[in-house]
Every structure is written in structure tokens, then in C-alpha cells.
Amino acid sequence: MNTSTIIQKLWNYCNVLHDDGMSYGDYVEQFTYLLFLKMADERTKAPYNQKSPVPEKYSWPTLIKKDGDDKNELCQQDW
């Protein structure tokens, strides 16, 4: 996957969120948070092997295992 494809996918997601009534600031916040979770997870793997600063119940692996209402419920919790 090249950079152009990734950017296009991101904008497609942004358009969906915007069409659902989410403001630009809101979806930038959401994508930034998801990017932070993903990067924190990547840093736990080789060659970094660092401890994640994110509690396990909010981690990227936990998030991607959930689906639908379970994922929404996790995201609605007080962080």
C-alpha cells in the first residue's frame, strides 16, 4: 500500500464521519487517538520492545478484537 492509497482511505473515512455529523475537529481527534494507540502498540514489538504506556484494557490489540457495540462501548468509557 502506498502513501497515496493510505491518504485516500483516510479521507474516505473522514467523509463518512462528516456525513454522520461529526465535525472536522472531532474526527481529527479520533484519528489522532487511534494513531497513538497503534504507534504505542508498534513500539512494543521488535526492534523497540518497549513497555506500552497504554493500559491493557484500552490498548490497540484489545480494541481490534472488539466489534460493533462492544467497540463502541469501549470508546465511550471515560479514558
| b/e burial code for range 8-37 (CB count within 10 A of at least 16 → b) | eeeeeebeebeeeeeeeeebeeeeeeeeeb
Query: Residue 21 — very low, low, confident or very high, per pLDDT cuts 50/70/90?
Result: confident
Residue boundaries of the structural domains of the chain = 3-76
Instruction: Identify the CATH class of 3-76.
Output: mainly alpha
Query: Residue 66 — very low, low, confident or very high, per pLDDT cuts 50/70/90?
Result: confident
Residue pLDDT, tens place only, 27-50: 888 888 889 999 999 999 999 999
Residue pLDDT, tens place only, 1-14: 789 998 898 888 88
Query: Residue 22 — very low, low, confident or very high, per pLDDT cuts 50/70/90?
Result: confident
